[in-house]
């Protein structure tokens, strides 16, 4: 039998590299919640809280407000795994559309570049683009075209 590891706030802080004060604040806001309490009323957090904290920090870096993060996290936890995949693919699709728009905005600059510069640019970008396409194909269970 595997016992799930639980962390006190100090341990969670050390492992996640997020201050105990911030973790306490996130708990008060309802962004995270303790899995249980000890007899001495210490909060104990599950290992999954580390992943949730990582997601919160990523969203903060992307300039989401704490209210927006709370809303997104509550929506995320209410959906089934199939819905999670659908939501994530939808997010990726939106991100790709944004990247496509940014590339279109770069077209005038690229047209002014010398052919050799353009070739170097495409040579650097192609492996990453191909890897992204391959990952998306694997996610959607399509056979590899690469």
d(CA 74, CA 62): 18
| Partners of 44 in the β-ladder | 8, 36
d(CA 23, CA 95): 30
Model pTM score: 0.53
- Helix, strand, coil shares of the chain, percent, nearest 5, are 70, 5, 25
Q: Which residues of 76-112 are buried (b: 16+ CB within 10 A; e: fewer)?
A: eeeeeeeeeeeeeeeeeeeeeeeeeeeeeeeeeeeee
State the residue for tokens 């341990």. Answer: 11
pLDDT in tens, the chain (146 residues): 445 689 999 999 999 999 999 999 999 999 999 999 989 999 999 988 998 899 899 889 888 899 988 888 887 666 566 766 776 777 777 777 788 888 888 888 888 888 898 888 888 888 888 888 887 777 776 544 44
């Amino acid at each position: 039998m595997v016992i799930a590891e639980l962390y006190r706030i100090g341990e969670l802080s050390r492992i996640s590299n997020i201050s105990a004060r911030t973790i306490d604040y996130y708990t008060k806001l309802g962004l995270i919640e303790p899995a249980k309490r000890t007899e001495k009323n210490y909060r104990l957090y599950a290992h999954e809280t580390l992943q949730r904290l990582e997601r919160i920090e990523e969203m903060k870096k992307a300039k989401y407000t704490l209210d927006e993060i709370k809303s997104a996290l509550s929506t995320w936890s209410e959906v089934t795994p199939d819905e999670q995949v659908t939501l994530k693919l939808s997010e990726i699709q939106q991100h790709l559309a944004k990247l496509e728009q940014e590339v279109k905005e770069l077209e005038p600059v690229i047209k002014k570049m010398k052919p050799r510069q353009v070739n170097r640019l495409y040579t650097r970008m192609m492996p990453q683009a191909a890897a992204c396409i391959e990952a998306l194909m694997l996610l959607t269970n399509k056979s590899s075209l690469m």
